[in-house]
């Protein structure tokens, strides 16, 4: 064989090698969550794959065509209860890398590719979902003096880091830290209870966030985020509610599928599902939408009023936006942008535990102020008896507090007062002393 033929043979060998392994698995990440586990495979190119399941024992097999695995599969599991082991196996197809997930049980699957975005390249995502138990639903009326349930949604999480600050801060970590502090304030308040949409670093889809809130029959949802911009100049917090257009769109979609969505709208859901009167269904849905929007607007103003006392505001009035997490017309909700993580000073503040605590306390005070005035029916707050008192000459908040055995702060909160000043003839609401 002459040199020319030898070189040609070598080139063909190299080209066949690269053709067979045109893609590579460069990373494997596992994100356990209470209801599901997400496995992410990082690839150098768009994945060409197929998968199938095997039983006795339960296994999920993924074949990556024209791919080479560059990742050690040892010690990548984070004490995940759904996956026992990830290992390689031989495939009969040349150039195919076969990975096997040994599973602890039978799970619902979602397998899909993701295109490059931000810091991530091509990915193949596998979601393992616990199979939901069939439930007839809990139609038991909420007891009198019940807790007000507040869903706290820490934005992003897991595979979704959210915005990233100039110093490498992840929005998902900031939002979770603030959310946990807010939950502490709420759970320490008599008559309130927090429901965490996520309490760890894992991904929860937008639709699932609403489902979690609805499943727990919450009275309100607050979503915590950190803003970002392409430059570092913008700063300040803001409070958002869903746009009217988005609510109308979601409500119309719900009405079209109302036979499959009777869990919405609380007690009205069953009526809407069973009625053949489209006008009645729309009227009930409209009433619920108007109530939800009214609560959202009132809450947004109450929270903004507290936040502006402790931090700079980017927007001085509540804003309207097309946020997916706020789309459910049956759940009153707001989204709080706690500051710009893209601003150097605010990034530092957002990572400060003390500042996070101030933000959480401000949000909590705003929520409490609203429910002191507009408590949900049957709640402990609604059971607190009040009476009216008209201010006469010589009276002050401290005098009234002593007379009615309440604190000055409780008087201020019940009447949305920002100072201790009262005027003759002013009528105040006196909350019941515990």
Alpha-carbon torsion 229, 232, 233, 238, what sign? Answer: positive
Read off the pLDDT of each residue in 207-236 and give the average, rounded to a whole number: 94
Residues 295 and 292: their CA atoms lie apart, in Å, by 5
What is the rounded distance in angstroms from the CA atom of residue 345 to the CA atom of residue 349? 6
Q: Determine what percent of the chain falls in helix, strand and coil, rounding each to the nearest 5.
A: 35, 25, 40
Long-range CB contacts for residues 355-358, cutoff 8 Å, separation at least 24? 355/311, 356/174, 356/177, 356/178, 356/181, 357/181, 358/310, 358/311
Distances (CA, A) of 19 to 14, 22, 93: 9, 5, 14
DSSP state of 265: T
Q: Does residue 302 register a pLDDT over 50?
A: yes
**Residue 401: both structure tokens together:** 């507090």
How many whole angstroms separate alpha carbon 15 and alpha carbon 285? Answer: 63
How many CB atoms sit inside 10 A of residue 118's CB? 10
Q: State the pLDDT at residue 134.
A: 43
Q: What CATH superfamily classification does 385-431 receive? A: LysM domain (3.10.350.10)
Is residue 31 within 8 Å of 202, Cβ to Cβ?
yes
Range name among 129-133, 176-180, 204-208, 259-263 with the lowest pLDDT average: 259-263
CA-CA distances (angstroms) from residue 164 to 125, 229, 243, 274, 334? 22, 10, 26, 48, 23
Report the pLDDT value the prediction gives residue 259, as an integer from 0 to 100: 44
Spans of all domains in the chain: 3-129, 148-373, 385-431
**Any idea which fold 148-373 has?**
Aminopeptidase (3.40.630)
Instruction: Name the residue among 56, 147, 134, 53 with its Cα closest to residue 100.
Output: 53
Q: Which of 130, 124, 110, 201 is nearest to 159 (CA)?
A: 201
Q: Taking 70 as the threshold, does the pLDDT of residue 268 lie above it? A: no
Residue 293 or residue 15, greater confidence = 293
Residue (of 373, 384, 372) closest to 432 by Cα position = 384
Task: Read off the pLDDT of each residue in 407-419 and give the average, rounded to a whole number.
Answer: 84
Which has more confidence, 17 or 180? 180
Distance CA(434)–CA(431), nearest Å, equals 9
User: What contacts 15, CB < 8 A, 6 or more positions away?
Assistant: none
In the structure, what pLDDT confidence band is assigned to residue 218 with cuts at 50, 70 and 90? very high
* Choice among 30-44, 106-120, 177-191, 235-249 with the minimum mean pLDDT: 235-249
Closest CA to 319 of 335, 305, 342: 335
Which residue in the block uniquely carries the two structure tokens 């979902």?
129
Structure tokens of 328? 């459910």
Residue 244 has pLDDT above 50, yes or no: yes
Q: Percent of the chain, pLDDT > 90?
A: 57
Q: Quick one: tokens of 15?
A: 């080209």
Lowest mean pLDDT among 25-39, 213-227, 253-267: 253-267
Q: Which of 333, 393, 331 is nearest to 367 (CA)?
A: 333
Mean pLDDT is lowest, of 69-73, 154-158, 318-322, 323-327, for 323-327
Token pair in block for residue 118: 């931000």
Could you tell me the pTM of the whole model?
Answer: 0.73
The reported pLDDT for the residue numbered 434 is: 56
Helix (H) or strand (E) holding 431: strand 427-431
Region label for 273, one of left (φ > 0), alpha (ψ between -120 and 50) or beta (otherwise): alpha
Label residue 55 exposed, middle or buried (CB < 10 Å: 0-12, 13-18, 19+). Answer: exposed
Instruction: Count Cβ atoms below 10 Å from residue 22 Cβ, excluding itself.
Output: 15
- Higher pLDDT: 148 or 248? It is 148
256: CB partners within 8 A, 6+ apart: none
Is residue 191 classed as helix, strand or coil in its secondary structure? Answer: coil
Contact 360, 181 (CB under 8 A): yes
Decide if 239 contacts 304 (C-beta within 8 A): yes
The fold for domain 3-129 equals: Immunoglobulin-like (2.60.40)
The arithmetic mean of pLDDT across residues 414-433, rounded, is 84
């Amino acid at each position: 064989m002459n040199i020319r033929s030898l070189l040609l043979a070598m080139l063909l060998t190299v080209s066949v090698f690269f053709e067979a392994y045109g893609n590579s698995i460069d990373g494997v990440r596992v994100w356990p969550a209470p209801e599901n586990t997400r496995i992410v495979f990082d690839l150098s190119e768009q994945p060409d794959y197929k998968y199938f399941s095997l039983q006795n024992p339960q296994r999920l097999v993924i074949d990556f065509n024209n791919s080479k695995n560059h990742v050690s599969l040892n010690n990548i599991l984070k004490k995940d209860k759904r996956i026992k082991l990830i290992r390689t196996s031989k495939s009969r197809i040349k150039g195919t890398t076969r990975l096997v997930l040994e599973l602890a049980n039978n799970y619902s699957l979602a397998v899909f590719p993701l295109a490059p975005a931000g810091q991530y390249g091509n990915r193949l995502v596998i979601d393992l979902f616990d199979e939901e138990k069939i439930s007839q639903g809990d139609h038991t009326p909420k007891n009198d003096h019940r807790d007000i349930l507040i869903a706290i949604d820490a934005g992003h999480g897991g595979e979704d880091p959210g915005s990233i600050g100039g110093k490498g801060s992840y929005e998902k970590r900031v939002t979770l830290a603030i959310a946990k502090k807010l939950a502490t304030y709420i759970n320490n308040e008599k008559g309130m209870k927090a429901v965490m949409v996520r309490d760890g670093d894992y991904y929860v889809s937008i639709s699932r966030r609403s489902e979690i809130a609805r499943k727990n029959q919450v009275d309100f949802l607050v979503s915590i985020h950190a803003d970002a911009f392409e430059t570092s100049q913008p700063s300040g917090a803001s409070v958002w509610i869903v746009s009217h257009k988005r609510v109308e769109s979601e409500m119309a979609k719900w009405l079209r599928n109302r036979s499959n969505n009777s869990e919405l709208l609380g007690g009205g859901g069953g009526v809407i599902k069973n009625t053949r009167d489209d006008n009645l269904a729309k009227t009930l849905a409209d009433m619920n939408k108007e109530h939800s929007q009214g609560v959202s607007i009132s809450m947004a103003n109450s929270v903004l009023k507290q936040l502006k006392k402790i931090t700079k505001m980017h927007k001085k009035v509540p804003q309207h936006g097309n946020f997916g997490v706020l789309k459910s017309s049956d759940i009153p909700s707001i989204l709080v942008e706690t500051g710009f993580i893209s601003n150097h000073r605010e990034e530092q503040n957002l990572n400060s535990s003390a500042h996070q605590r101030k933000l959480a306390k401000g949000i909590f005070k705003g929520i409490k102020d609203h429910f002191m005035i507009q408590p949900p029916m049957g709640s402990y707050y609604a059971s607190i008896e009040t009476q009216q008192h008209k201010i006469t000459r010589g009276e002050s908040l401290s005098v009234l507090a002593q007379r009615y055995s309440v604190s000055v702060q409780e008087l201020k909160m019940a009447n949305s007062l920002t100072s201790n000043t009262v005027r003759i003839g002013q009528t105040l609401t006196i909350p019941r002393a515990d």
